């Protein structure tokens, strides 16, 4: 039996639009994000998911709620699917981080762990999100998980067993775009599709 897991990034927020680091700050969707979620939900509902699971942060849970409104399903919530904790960066724009904490910013831009600022390590992030993915995948043959940009990328990399250098080759997910992963008994987890969605004409905001 093959399991399909759809990893769905939340819709746009005002902090996304401003290039502000969200992390685990509970920022809601803006009007664009709500529209993105509604339009993407139409496509995802056509896949007839067996279950929907979301991060409990509003921008992800409200994105998942748009799909639940179409399918009539209940959304399950999992704190492990939250965005990376960005410590003292949260609330700053990426330009402010670069100016105020240049060494940390340089490590982040290079895809390395940030030393200082109480930022969650990539390994810790990958492990917790991948654990959430694994539990969600047990809920059916097709499960949709609503999460966040950095969380999605690192969790996917951990699930696939990729080294950090390979995870860095994944382009940041656009708002309300998704990844499809498959798993079967002989091949384990595989990447089937990446950055799929309705909106393709907007710049990709940082996955923070």
Question: Which residues does the annotation mark as catalytic?
Answer: 10, 83
Is 11 annotated as contributing to ligand binding? Answer: yes
Secondary structure class of 22 (helix, strand, coil): coil
6 DSSP β-pair partners: 144, 180
Is 158 annotated as contributing to ligand binding? Answer: no
Is 177 annotated as contributing to ligand binding? Answer: no
H/E stretch holding 190: strand 188-196
Is 15 annotated as contributing to ligand binding? Answer: yes
d(CA 24, CA 86): 7
Is 16 annotated as contributing to ligand binding? Answer: yes
H/E stretch holding 53: strand 51-54
Is 10 annotated as contributing to ligand binding? Answer: yes
82: Cβ contacts below 8 Å, ≥ 6 apart: 24, 55, 56, 57, 60, 147, 148, 151
Is 30 annotated as contributing to ligand binding? Answer: no
Binding-site members are 9-16, 59
Binding-site members for substrate are 9-16, 59
């Amino acid at each position: 039996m093959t399991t399909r897991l759809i990893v769905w990034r939340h819709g746009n927020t005002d902090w996304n639009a401003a290039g502000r680091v969200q992390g685990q700050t509970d920022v809601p969707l803006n009007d664009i994000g709500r529209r993105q979620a509604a339009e993407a939900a139409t496509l995802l509902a056509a896949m007839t998911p067996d279950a929907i699971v979301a991060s409990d942060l509003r921008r992800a849970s409200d994105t998942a709620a748009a799909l639940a409104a179409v399918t009539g399903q209940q959304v399950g919530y999992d704190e492990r699917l939250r965005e990376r904790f960005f410590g003292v960066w949260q609330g700053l724009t990426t330009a402010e981080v670069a100016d105020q904490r240049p060494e940390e910013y340089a490590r982040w831009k290079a895809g390395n762990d940030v030393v200082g600022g109480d930022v969650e390590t990539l390994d810790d992030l990958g492990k917790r999100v991948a654990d959430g993915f694994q539990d969600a995948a047990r809920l059916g043959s097709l499960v949709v998980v609503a999460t966040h940009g950095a969380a999605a990328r690192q969790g996917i990399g951990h699930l696939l067993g990729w080294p950090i250098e390979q995870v860095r080759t994944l382009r940041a997910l656009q708002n309300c775009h998704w990844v499809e992963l498959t798993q079967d008994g002989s091949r384990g987890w595989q990447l089937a599709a990446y950055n799929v969605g309705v909106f393709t004409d907007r710049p990709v905001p940082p996955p923070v």
